[in-house]
Amino acid sequence: MNDTADNLVRYQRQMILPDMGLAAQRKLGSSKALIVGVGGLGSWMAELLTRAGVGALRLIDPDNVDLTNLHRQALYTEHDARLARPKVEAAAERLASINSHAAIEPIVGRLDRHNIAALAEGVDVILDGTDNFLARYIINDYAVKMQRPWVFAGAVGTEAQILAILPGQSACLRCILPDPPPPCHDPNCRQAGVLGPVVAAVAAMQAVEAIKILSGRSDAARSQLLKFDLWTNRVQQISANKSADCPCCGLREFDYLEG
């Protein structure tokens, strides 16, 4: 972040927080995040992090804006849906209008084991905006192998869950779920529906975890799996302990990354 008068005013309310300050804001301004998927979770995260002053975002998503997206996804408009614009391009345009100092790199495509290294090059955190476990397990393998922090989350129906993963310090995704759930037990929003505010709520939590990591406060990152249902008001915090038998961070077997 450049200490211009405009920037000092823009981030004033954030910098007066006891855990932030000018030094933390500068770290945000010099950091870069990869957001995998800019649908429900990713679009909200991208907007929140751009507004917070994260210096650079790399966005990847293969999809175009659709009218069914608009009830739960930030950044997009009816005009974008009519034109079926690529989400990353519509998102980049909108984000540039929110914060002209942010460097936004849109990539139309889908993350896989072949391109994740190139996509994650130079980034400080990887953020999960996907809707499938295969992509998450590829991210987890790469993050553990390369010691790169990432934030897992998901939302479906009225429920959501989130966990910050700090390789070498915290449990990884496969400590909790050694194998992905069967497809019949892993409904997505198209099958089960989703309440828009649930998506926004967990995406906001992801953005906070990213801000902690990028501002140098990884010690404050969430070390437990949080699950909540905003309709029934149920909240669970589940211990997430590193497992010596974890196939990924324990045994160092990167099946999803290596194929």
Residue 23 lies in a domain: no
Q: Mean pLDDT of all residues in the chain?
A: 93
d(CA 39, CA 80): 13
Task: Report residue 132 as tokens.
Answer: 């499938």
Give the pLDDT of residue 37.
Answer: 97
**Which pLDDT does position 22 carry in this prediction?**
93
- 55 domain-assigned: yes
pLDDT at res. 190:
59
Asked whether residue 103 is domain-assigned, the answer is: yes
Query: pLDDT value at position 185?
Result: 53
Q: Examine residue 104 and state whether it is found in any structural domain, yes or no.
A: yes
Which two structure tokens, joined as six digits, stand for 62?
């293969």
For the stretch 71-108, pLDDT in tens is 999 999 999 999 999 999 999 999 999 999 999 999 99
pLDDT on residue 183:
62
7 assigned to some structural domain: no
Q: Which residue type does 97 have?
A: S
Domain hosting 67: range is 31-258
Task: Indicate which CATH number applies to the domain containing 111.
Answer: 3.40.50.720
Which pLDDT score is estimated for 186?
54
Instruction: Provide the number of structural domains found in the chain.
Output: 1
- pTM, two decimals, is 0.94
pLDDT value, residue 179: 86
The answer to the question of residue 17 being in a domain is no
In the prediction, which pLDDT does 96 show?
Answer: 97
In a domain, 10, yes or no: no
Quote the pLDDT of residue 20.
92
Specify which residues 235 forms β-bridges with: 228
The Cα–Cα gap between 93 and 18 comes to: 33
Question: Which residues in the chain come in under a pLDDT of 50?
Answer: none
Which amino acid would we find at residue 78?
E
